[in-house]
Amino acid sequence: MAPTIKVGDTIPEGEFGYIPYSPALDDLAACGVPSKLKTDEWKGKKVVLFSVPGAFTPTCHVNHLPPYVEKYEEFKAKGVDVIAVLAANDVFVMSGWGRVEGVKDKILCLSDTGAAWSASLGLSLDLSALGLGTRTNRYALIIDDLVVKYVEVEPAPGVTVSGADAVLAAL
């Protein structure tokens, strides 16, 4: 499925749930307090947003998120203000996943409820046949002042064009 959003487009408005990192969350028994982030908060910022079909799923957990954490300083050196990972999982799952992965305050773990925002980009994925419902596709965006500078969707299972190395090369 080709995305409907393309380079040069302004991203649509959206709102994501997330749990902001605080040191209290280092205690894995803590749950945190859900908050909202609106895409208009990215005005004037360079944002790397990558999306995964699900937290704790094999490819996402092992191959997609960890390289972004490992290469955090390289992204910052290229002028990236915000790195965010997006999935249709709820805010508590996304927060828990980020804590297990050691994300802390480096990467925002955002919940795209029902993959609604991703669907507005043409980037949702129907995984109902696997019992997973509608999810976010595996993709990456570079957004500069709300304008898309890079959009790539994985053409097959695995991580290539949406991975940390590909996005770093595009910055």
| Alpha carbons 54 and 97: distance in angstroms, whole number | 10
Which residue from 58, 45, 28, 40 is spatially nearest to 138, judged by alpha carbons? 58
* Cα–chain center distance at 50: 4
- The CATH label, of 3.40.30.10, 3.20.20.60, 3.40.1440.10, 3.30.930.10, for the domain at 15-170 is 3.40.30.10
| Alpha carbons 120 and 100: distance in angstroms, whole number | 30
Within 39-164, strands assigned E span 46-51, 82-87, 108-111, 124-126, 134-136, 139-144, 147-153
pLDDT by residue, tens only, the chain of 171 residues: 567 889 999 999 999 999 999 999 988 888 999 999 999 999 999 999 999 988 877 666 656 889 999 999 999 999 999 999 999 989 999 999 899 899 999 999 999 988 889 988 888 776 666 656 567 888 999 999 999 999 998 888 888 889 999 999 999
One of 5, 48, 49, 60 is an active-site residue; which one?
60
60 is catalytic: yes
For the entire predicted model, the pTM comes to 0.91
Rg of the chain taking only CA atoms, in angstroms: 15
